[in-house]
Amino acid sequence: MKRTALVTGGTRGLGRQIAIDLQAAGYQVVVVYHNNAEAAAEFTRTTSIPAISWDVADFEACRLGVAHVERDYGAIDILVNDAGITRDAVLHRMTEDQWWQVINTNLGSMFNMCRNVIEGMRTRGFGRVINISSINGEKGQIGQANYAAAKAGILGFTRTLALESARKNITVNAIAPGYCDTEMVAAVPEEVLKTIIDNIPVGRLGTPEDIARMVTFLADDNAGFITGATIEINGGQYMS
Ligand code: CAA
């Protein structure tokens, strides 16, 4: 029987390619989106992958959403926590709302989603959790105190859940992408982005495929000895 993979933020950006690659690798894939119903409809039309809407910042919505997916598509074997937002501003101008929106969506979602799948994975004795962090959670970035804090928090969360889950054949890993060719990065002011690309040793933005390839690798049944890792995919821009 096909394993089932759930990808949050799966209709656009990195998540879209992650979902497409997992489907190509033979998994039954379901994605979660939040607001952009038009993009979700186009995604499902072109991929046949079902897209379900809920807010990953809301614990109860995640509980109901996970139950819905498990009822209609089977137990979740692979969870990819990709959903994330930016609300960039230097701290001396950042609002409380910009802070909490990013913390709740990018970091709160880790608890909200993992808490609702982990018991089932433990009972079944198999699981793959792949959390999408960021280069900016490792090195910091002007204008992203909220985002960098959330993405750094993901790394501690990942290591802890990896330790707690290791005996149950569940791996938990983080990927820290660098700047990739997505809508999120396209929203960075042009002159700022040019400086960033000038500082990427390989001389280009990453592609969604660069990241999706690693997700598929980590999702595999045979990747069971990789856990608690942070895999950096950033064209050499930051080496920890
Ligand atoms: N050193 C110190 N301070 C600096 C600085 C520098 N090199 N560059 C800018 N600043 C600070 C200054 O303190 C200045 O504030 P004051 O005017 O009060 O002194 C402020 O930044 C600049 O203000 P501006 O009016 O020029 O710019 P802004 O407030 O409109 O925007 C910004 C600033 C939000 C940081 C903007 O430049 C920006 O969006 N930068 C991009 C941030 C970024 O890389 N985001 C990544 C998004 S993609 C992503 O997140 C995916 C991923 O994982 C990689």
Digit-coded pLDDT (tens) for 145-155: 999 999 999 99
Nearest-angstrom CA–CA distance, 84 and 65: 17
- Rounded distance from Cα 86 to ligand 1 centre (Å): 13
pLDDT > 90? residue 186: yes
Q: Encoding tokens for residue 219?
A: 């999702």
Task: Determine the Cα–Cα distance for residues 108 and 118; give it in Å rounded to an integer.
Answer: 15
What 3-state DSSP class applies to 89? strand
**Model confidence at 69: pLDDT above 90:** yes
Which is catalytic among the residues 27, 33, 73, 147? Answer: 147
Residue 33 designated active-site: no
- C-alpha–C-alpha distance, residues 176 and 181, integer Å: 15
Calculate how far, in angstroms, residue 209's C-alpha sits from the geometric centre of ligand 1: 28
DSSP helix/strand/coil, 70: helix
How far is Cα 147 from Cα 138, in angstroms, rounded to an integer? 11
Q: How many residues are there in the chain?
A: 240
- Residue identifier of the C-alpha nearest atom 30 of ligand 1: 89
Please provide the CATH number assigned to the domain covering 4-231: 3.40.50.720
pLDDT value at position 188? 96
Give the residue extent of every domain in the chain: 4-231
The answer to whether residue 1 scores a pLDDT higher than 90 is no
pLDDT, one tens digit per residue, over 81-132 is: 999 999 999 999 999 999 999 999 999 999 999 999 999 999 999 999 999 9
pLDDT, mean over the chain = 98
CA distance 23 to 209: 13
